[in-house]
Structure 1
Amino acid sequence: MASLLPFRDINVHASASHYAFTSPSSPAAATLVVDRPSGDLRLNDGTLLGGKRVSSIAGILGMVKLRLDKYIIVITKAQPMGRLKGHMIYKVIATEFLPLRERPLHDQDEDTYLTLLKTFIKSSPMYFSYSFDITNTFQRQAQLDSAQPLWKRADDRFFWNKFIQSDLIDFRGSGSRQQHGQQSGADPYILPVIFGMLEIIPTRVKSTPLTMVLITRRSRHRAGTRYFSRGIDDEGHVSNFNETEQIILLNDSTSGLGGFAGGAGMQNGKVGGSGGKEVQIMSYVQTRGSVPVYWAEVNTLHYTPKLQIRGVETAVSAARAHFDEQIRIYGDNYLVNLVNQKGREKRVKDAYEQMVRLLVSSPVEGSRQDQLTDEKFHVVEPSGRRQEMDRLHYVYFDFHDETKGLKWHRAQLLLDQLSSALEKQQYFRGVDMPADIEGRLEVRNHQTSVVRTNCMDCLDRTNVVQSMLARSVLNRQLTDLGVLSRNETFTSADASFEVLFRKLWADNADVVSKSYSGTGALKTDFTRTGVRTKAGAIQDLRNSITRYARNNFLDGPKQDAFDLFLGAYLPSHSNGGLIFADSRPLLIQSIPYLMAFSFFFVFVGAFTRRLPDSAVLPVRIFILFWFIVGAWCLNFIYSNGMLYVNWPKLNPRPWAMEGYQEAISKVRKDKLIGKLVTRHERGHSTVGLLSAEEGKKRIE
C-alpha cells in the first residue's frame, strides 16, 4: 500500500554525474536517479555512493526542458492547510530549480524562460496531498480503484503538473534505455498537484460541530489569461474551466492542523477514529467555463476590446466533444448563461443559443419578460431524450438588468427558475465504511446533474450565482442531517456560520479571478456581506482599472508562463533567435518614451519657479510645443493600440497577428512618420536574420 502513495520525505543527493532521490522513512524503496547532463532516469536498489546530500524536499513537482538545459523542479517548502478525512493537505510555498548541467549554459532567452516559470510558480496557488486524491470529487473517488497508485487515480483535467511530470510518467510506463519495462518503483515519486483554491475550516452550526471545505480545481487544458484565452479549442477544452466542490463533514474528529495523534491510528497520513459516530460526507459540485464557440476579445488599449465571434457552425464538433465529456462526468448539464442581452455581449449570447440549438435534437424554446427586461429568462430544452446531447438544458438569465441599481436580491429569481432542477439534482452523500483501512465510503446518495455557469469572463457574476446555488443546497443538506429544522436557514439560525460561508465564497471568487484576470473579483462585497455597497462599487472600479493595465501590459508574459508550464510551447523545439526581442520598428518603440519626456518637460515648465525679470513668452512656447508633442504621442498610441499591447511571444494569437499587421500597415501610410517606419523595417529584417543565425550557433 505504501508504494502506491507519494513519499512524504525525500532527500536529494547531488554529484557531478547525477541527482539521487531517496526516502529516509522507506530505506527498502528504490532510489530514483537522474543522470547528468542527459536527464536519463533509472531506479537503483542500493544507496548511491559519492553523492553529497543537498537538502530535504517535500516532493518533485516535475522536470522541464528549456532550450539549453533541463531542470528538476523540487518543492522545498509546503504549508499544511488542514486535514480532509484525516489526510493532511498542503500548499506549495517554495520551489527550487536543479539544473542538469554542472555549469549551466545561459543566454537571454533561457534566463527569460526561467524567470517566467519561477514567477509563475511563486504566484500560483497549488495544493497536494500525499495520501488523498484532491483532483477528484468525493463522488468520483467512490468509483475509483484504490489499489491504483495515487497519480493514476488523478483526474487528467486537474492534474496541473502532468506535463512536467511526463518524464517520470513515461519512465514508469516503459522504462529507459538502461531499464526496460514498467517501473513501479517510480510511483512514489510522482506527486499530483492541483491549481486553484482550497480551504478547510472546522466550525459549528447551531452547536453541531462540522468541517466546511471549499475546493476549486482549475483545468490545465486551454488555461491562460483573460483576453488571450477565450472560448473553445478544437479538442473541446474551454477557457477558464473550473470545478468547485463544496463539502461538509459531520463527526469528523480528524480535521484541523493537529499532529499525528502521538503516532496512534496513523495510516499513510490518515488519522483514525471519530468517537464511534459515523463520519458523514456531503458534497455539491458546480462548474464554470467559457462560452463553447470560437470567439475572442482583441486588446487595442481601448477599455472595451474588440469582440470577434470566429465561428459557431465550425465549432459544433468541438462543442460536442466538450459536452460529451461534461455529460459523461456529471450527468445532465444545466447551462446558466449570465451575459448581457444588449450591446456587445448580445453576440456571445446569440452564439451560445445557436450552438445549443445545433446540438439538441428538436429544441423547444420559451422566454419570459417583465417591466425591467424584454427577456428575463430564455430557456432552450430538448423535446425528448433521443440522443446524448438532449441532456443539455439551457437557461439564460438577464442578470445585469434584473440586479441593476444594487438590487442584487433579485438574483434569487434564477434560483426559483432552477428549483425543480436542483431538487432532482440532489447531492453526494457518503459515510465512512466501518473498519475500512483504505477509508472507502458507503455511498448513500449521488448528485445526478451539474449547473454550468458562465458570464463573459466566468468570474464575477458567475461567482455570485454559484454562491447562491451553494447556499441553497447547503441549507438542504443541513436540514436533511437534522442540524436545521424544516423551513429554517443557516442565515437566520447561526450568524457566525453565515459570515464564514460568505468569506469562503468571496475568497474563492478572488482566487479564481486573480489567476485569470490579475485582480480579485468584482462584486465580492455582495458575496461577503449580502449587500451591494457603494464602497464595494469603488473597490470594483479600482479592480477594473488594475485589470485594464494588467490585461494590456502584463498578461503577455503571464500567458507565456502558462504555455511553458503546461507544455503548450516547447522551447527545445524552437528555431533559435531572440524570441523575446522586441521586433517592432525602433520609432514605434520610442513613442511612449517620447510621450513621457514631453509631459515631463511640460510639468517642469509649468511648475518651475521663474525669475521676476525672465521672459514669459519663450517658456509658454516651450510648454506648448512639448504639450503638442505629448498629445500627438498619446493619440498615436491610443489610435494604434495593438502595437503597444504586450502580446504573448511564444504562441502568438492569430487575431493578434492579424490586428498587428493591420495596424503596422496603417502606420506605414501615415504622412508624418510612415516613411521613417518603412526605412527602419528594411534594416530590421537583416538584424532579425542575424539574430536567428546567432541562435542556431548557440544551440549547436
Structure 2
Amino acid sequence: MASLPFRDINVHASTAHYAFTSPSSPSAPTLVVDRPTGDLRLNDGALLGGKRVSSIAGILGMIKLRLDKYIIVITKAQPMGRLKGHMIYKVIATEFLPLRERPLHDQDEDTYLALLKTFIKSGPMYFSYSSDITNTFQRQAQLDASQPLWKRADDRFFWNRFIQSDLIDFRTSGSRQQHGQQPGLDAYILPVMFGMLEITSTKIKSTPLTIALITRRSRHRAGTRYFSRGIDEQGHVSNFNETEQIVILNDSTSGLGGFAGGGTIQNGKIGGSDGRELQILSYVQTRGSVPVYWAEVNTLHYTPKLQIRGVETAVSAARAHFSEQIRLYGDNYLVNLVNQKGRELRVKEAYEQMVKLLVSSPKEGTQQDSLSDEKFRVVEPSSQRQEFDRLHYVYFDFHNETKGLQWHRAKLLLDQLHDGLEKQQYFRGVDMPADIEGRLEVRNHQTSVVRTNCMDCLDRTNVVQSMLARWTLNRQLTDLGVLQRGQTFTDVDPAFEVLFRKLWADNADVVSRSYSGTGALKTDFTRTGVRTKAGALQDLRNSITRYVKNNFADGPKQDSFDLFLGAYLPSNSSNKVFVDKRPILIQSIPYILAFSFFLVFVGAFSPRMPDAAVLPVRIFILFWFMVGAWSLNFIYSNGMLYVNWPKLNPRPWATEGFNETINHVRKDKIIGQFVARGHERGLSMARYTNAEEGKKRIE
C-alpha cells in the first residue's frame, strides 16, 4: 500500500531546528529542518528539546526569499466533500515559519512576504490525503496506485511543485548526512491543486448520485489576463485549464461525515447501501490561450494594443504543445470562438495559419448563413494521417451568432461537433471491491477532447463548455438508464437543472476571478438559461472592474504568481526591486491631478461673502481646471507610464513600450526638459534579459 500524506502533524520549534511529527504514526521518522541553514534530515523517534508550536494540516512547501527561507504550513483546511470516499479539503489559512531565529527585515523582504500571503489567501487551493485530485479518473485508472501520492500527481497541476522541491530533492537524493533515497519523507509531501472544485450529493428522478466539477489550472505560464498571453518556447500556453465533470452513482460516502479516507481504509469500497456497484463517469474538456506568440499591451485605453509575432516563429512551440495534448487526450477538437471581425480577426487568422502549418495537406470548408459571413470554418487533414492530423479545427462566430440575445443559437456548434462528440465517448469505471488499492474496472474510455478558446478563455469559453458538458451528461444518464431515449434532465428534473447551471456558473466565476480579477461575464445565461438586462448590467460592472484591476493591480498579482511558482528567484535579485524609479515629475502628475480637482471643488462650492469679487475666484477655478485637464490628458496619452507593470519579470513589450513613451515625453515642449534621463522605473533591458534567461528554475 502506498504511503499517504500524514493527516495530522505537530510542529516543534527550538533555536536549532523545526521538527515535524505525526502523533497518529509514532513509529514514523521525524522530519527535521535545521535552522538557519534549512538542511533537511529524518530522525528516528522524537527530537528532544523542542517546544510544540502548533498542529498543522500539512506542509505546503519551503521558499527562499532574499534574506531568509520560510516553511509554509497549512494551519486550517476546510472539508469540501468526498469523491469515492476520499475527503477533499480547501486550504483556508497558512503560516510562514522563518528559519532565522531573529528574522531580518527590509522593505523588499516584507513585500515578497506580503505578495505570497495575499496570493495564497486569494488562490483557491485544494488537496486530499488519500486521493490524487491532480489527475482525472481516467488517468488515475492507468497509474500505479502503489506509488506515493506526490509521484502520481500530474506535473502540470501539482501547483506547489516548486516550493516542494527542497523536500522532493531530499526524498530522491538524500543529503550529505543521509545518502540515497528517503522514502520516509513521502508522508510529508502533500500535492496541492489550484482551481475550482465543487461536490454535491443530489438525485435525478429519485436516482441518488454525486455530481462534481473540478477545474485544474496549469502551473506553467500562469498569470494574469494581460500579462500572460499566448505560448512560450516550451509549449506551455497561458490560462490552460482542464475541467472534469464527474458523476458517481451508488456512492454512500459522499457526505462530510463518515470515515476519513486515511491510510487504513479500503478506498471507497463501501458502494451503495443496496449492494449495487459504485460507478464513476467523467467527461474532460480543456481550454487554453491561442498557441502563437501574441500579447495585448495595456496603455490605460479600454482596448489594449494587440501584438502578434510571425506565426512561423511559434511552430516549434505549438508542436510541443499539441504533442503533449495529443499524448494526454487523444484527438483534439480545437473550437475557436474569437471574433472574425475587428481586432480579434488577427488572432483568428494566426490560429488558423498555425493549424495549417501543423496539419498535413489541410483541406478547408466554410459554411455560411444569413447571420454571419462565416459561421463555421473547419480545417481537416486530407492525406494519410500524421501525428498532428489528430487536430480538428472548428471556428464558430460566437458573438455574431448570438447577438441580439439569441443565445439558443450557440447550440448550432453542437450540430457541427456532433460526430466528434459521439466518437469521443466518456470515461466510465466500476468499483472493484476485491482490490485493496481501490482501482476501477474501466468499462469505457474518453478518446478525444474538445479544446475551447476565446480571447481570454473565460466567458464565451465557459458558455460553450457548459453546453458540451450538458450534452454529454444527458448522454451518460441515458446510457445508464436513468433517462429514457430523447429525454433530458432539463425536461424531467427542474431542480437538477438549477443545480447544474449553478455548478457551471460557479466554475466560470472562479476561473475568471483568478485570471481577470472579477467573476465571469454572461453568467446570467449560464445560471438561468436566458440573457437578461440585469445580467448585462452586471457584465458592465465586471468590465469596469476588470479595466481598473488589469491596469492598476495586476502587476503585483503577476509578481506573486512568478514568485510562488518559481519563475523568479528573489535570492538572485538586487536590493530595492520594488522601488518606483520613474522620474519624479512623472510620478507627481496623478497627485497634481487630484490636487487640482480638489481646489476646483473648493473654489466652486466654498461660501463667499456677498460683496466678494467674483472674477478672481473664477480665474482661480479656471486655472486649476486647466491644470487638471492637462494632467488627465497627459496620463491618458502616456498610459504606459502609469500602468502597474510586473516588476520581477518585466515583459519585453512592456519594456519597449515604456521606453518609447518616456522618450516621447522627453520631447514634450512643456515638461520634456524636466524629465531626467536614466530613470526607467526598473524596467531596464539588462534586468529583462536576466529575468528571461536566468531566473526560471530548471526542475
Same fold, TM exceeding 0.5?
A: yes
The unaligned stretches of length 5 or more in structure 2 are 688-699
Residue aligning to 1:231: 230
Residue aligning to 1:308: 307
Residue aligning to 1:697: none
C-alpha displacement at 1:438, in angstroms? Answer: 1.2
SS at 1:678 equivalent: coil
Residue of structure 2 aligned with 1:637, choices 623, 626, 635: 635
Q: 1:12 to 1:269 in 2, by over 3 A?
A: farther
Looking at structure 2, the residues matched to 254 and 317 of structure 1 have their Cα atoms a distance apart, in angstroms, of 47
Matched, 1:579 2:604: no
C-alpha displacement at 1:683, in angstroms? Answer: 14
- Give deviations 1:603-660, integer Å, cap 9, x for gaps: 1111222221111111111110010000000000000000000000000000000000
- Give deviations 1:443-464, integer Å, cap 9, x for gaps: 0000000000000000000000
SS at 2:675 equivalent: helix
Residue aligning to 1:673: 671
Looking at structure 1, the residues matched to 242 and 215 of structure 2 have their Cα atoms a distance apart, in angstroms, of 6
Looking at structure 2, the residues matched to 514 and 330 of structure 1 have their Cα atoms a distance apart, in angstroms, of 27
Looking at structure 1, the residues matched to 257 and 552 of structure 2 have their Cα atoms a distance apart, in angstroms, of 44
C-alpha displacement at 1:386, in angstroms? Answer: 2.8
Looking at structure 2, the residues matched to 682 and 317 of structure 1 have their Cα atoms a distance apart, in angstroms, of 34
Matched, 1:515 2:518: no
Matches within 5 A, 1:546-565: 546-565=545-564
The residue type equivalent to 2:549 in the other structure is R
TM-score relative to the length of structure 2: 0.96
C-alpha displacement at 1:436, in angstroms? Answer: 1.7
Residue aligning to 2:691: none
Q: 1:682 to 1:506 in 2, by over 3 A?
A: closer
Looking at structure 2, the residues matched to 564 and 161 of structure 1 have their Cα atoms a distance apart, in angstroms, of 11
The residue type equivalent to 1:188 in the other structure is A
SS at 1:666 equivalent: helix
Looking at structure 2, the residues matched to 496 and 300 of structure 1 have their Cα atoms a distance apart, in angstroms, of 46
C-alpha displacement at 1:678, in angstroms? Answer: 2.5
The residue type equivalent to 1:377 in the other structure is F
SS at 1:334 equivalent: strand
Looking at structure 1, the residues matched to 474 and 81 of structure 2 have their Cα atoms a distance apart, in angstroms, of 24
Looking at structure 1, the residues matched to 489 and 306 of structure 2 have their Cα atoms a distance apart, in angstroms, of 42
Q: 1:455 to 1:54 in 2, by over 3 A?
A: same
- Give deviations 1:240-260, integer Å, cap 9, x for gaps: 000000000000000011132
Q: Is the Cα–Cα contact under 8 Å of residues 4 and 263 in structure 2 kept in the other structure?
A: no
C-alpha displacement at 1:124, in angstroms? Answer: 0.3
The residue type equivalent to 2:584 in the other structure is L
Looking at structure 1, the residues matched to 31 and 596 of structure 2 have their Cα atoms a distance apart, in angstroms, of 61
C-alpha displacement at 1:684, in angstroms? Answer: 11
Matches within 5 A, 1:273-422: 273-275=271-273, 276-422=275-421
Looking at structure 2, the residues matched to 603 and 207 of structure 1 have their Cα atoms a distance apart, in angstroms, of 66
Residue aligning to 1:542: 541
Matches within 5 A, 1:58-73: 58-73=57-72
Matches within 5 A, 1:15-94: 15-94=14-93
Matched, 1:500 2:502: no
Residue aligning to 2:656: 658
Q: 1:128 to 1:346 in 2, by over 3 A?
A: same
Q: Is the Cα–Cα contact under 8 Å of residues 271 and 278 in structure 2 kept in the other structure?
A: no
Percent of aligned pairs sharing the same letter: 83
Q: 1:335 to 1:273 in 2, by over 3 A?
A: closer
Q: Is the Cα–Cα contact under 8 Å of residues 338 and 345 in structure 2 kept in the other structure?
A: yes
SS at 1:161 equivalent: coil
Looking at structure 2, the residues matched to 218 and 684 of structure 1 have their Cα atoms a distance apart, in angstroms, of 30
Looking at structure 1, the residues matched to 633 and 577 of structure 2 have their Cα atoms a distance apart, in angstroms, of 29
Looking at structure 1, the residues matched to 448 and 432 of structure 2 have their Cα atoms a distance apart, in angstroms, of 25
C-alpha displacement at 1:161, in angstroms? Answer: 0.2
Q: Is the Cα–Cα contact under 8 Å of residues 210 and 250 in structure 1 kept in the other structure?
A: yes
Q: Is the Cα–Cα contact under 8 Å of residues 131 and 268 in structure 1 kept in the other structure?
A: no
Looking at structure 2, the residues matched to 140 and 353 of structure 1 have their Cα atoms a distance apart, in angstroms, of 30
Q: Is the Cα–Cα contact under 8 Å of residues 116 and 560 in structure 1 kept in the other structure?
A: yes
Instruction: Give the stretch that moved more between structures: 318-327 or 673-682.
Output: 673-682
Q: Is the Cα–Cα contact under 8 Å of residues 6 and 189 in structure 1 kept in the other structure?
A: yes
Instruction: Give the stretch that moved more between structures: 15-24 or 604-613.
Output: 604-613
C-alpha displacement at 1:661, in angstroms? Answer: 0.3
Q: 1:683 to 1:314 in 2, by over 3 A?
A: closer
C-alpha displacement at 1:266, in angstroms? Answer: 6.0
Residue aligning to 1:698: none
Residue of structure 1 aligned with 2:588, choices 578, 587, 590: 590
Looking at structure 2, the residues matched to 103 and 26 of structure 1 have their Cα atoms a distance apart, in angstroms, of 32
SS at 1:267 equivalent: coil
The unaligned stretches of length 5 or more in structure 1 are 690-700
Looking at structure 2, the residues matched to 110 and 581 of structure 1 have their Cα atoms a distance apart, in angstroms, of 13
Looking at structure 1, the residues matched to 242 and 493 of structure 2 have their Cα atoms a distance apart, in angstroms, of 28
The residue type equivalent to 2:667 in the other structure is K
Q: Is the Cα–Cα contact under 8 Å of residues 269 and 433 in structure 2 kept in the other structure?
A: no
SS at 1:531 equivalent: coil
Q: 1:680 to 1:250 in 2, by over 3 A?
A: closer
Q: Is the Cα–Cα contact under 8 Å of residues 129 and 262 in structure 2 kept in the other structure?
A: no
Q: 1:481 to 1:616 in 2, by over 3 A?
A: same
Looking at structure 1, the residues matched to 54 and 641 of structure 2 have their Cα atoms a distance apart, in angstroms, of 47
Q: Is the Cα–Cα contact under 8 Å of residues 585 and 684 in structure 1 kept in the other structure?
A: no
Matches within 5 A, 1:115-264: 115-260=114-259
Residue aligning to 1:601: 599
Looking at structure 2, the residues matched to 604 and 264 of structure 1 have their Cα atoms a distance apart, in angstroms, of 67
Q: 1:157 to 1:623 in 2, by over 3 A?
A: same
C-alpha displacement at 1:273, in angstroms? Answer: 4.2
Looking at structure 2, the residues matched to 185 and 270 of structure 1 have their Cα atoms a distance apart, in angstroms, of 26
Looking at structure 1, the residues matched to 670 and 296 of structure 2 have their Cα atoms a distance apart, in angstroms, of 31
Looking at structure 2, the residues matched to 680 and 245 of structure 1 have their Cα atoms a distance apart, in angstroms, of 51
The residue type equivalent to 2:403 in the other structure is K
Looking at structure 1, the residues matched to 235 and 360 of structure 2 have their Cα atoms a distance apart, in angstroms, of 20
Q: Is the Cα–Cα contact under 8 Å of residues 260 and 266 in structure 1 kept in the other structure?
A: no
Looking at structure 2, the residues matched to 271 and 457 of structure 1 have their Cα atoms a distance apart, in angstroms, of 42
Q: 1:249 to 1:120 in 2, by over 3 A?
A: same
TM-score relative to the length of structure 1: 0.96
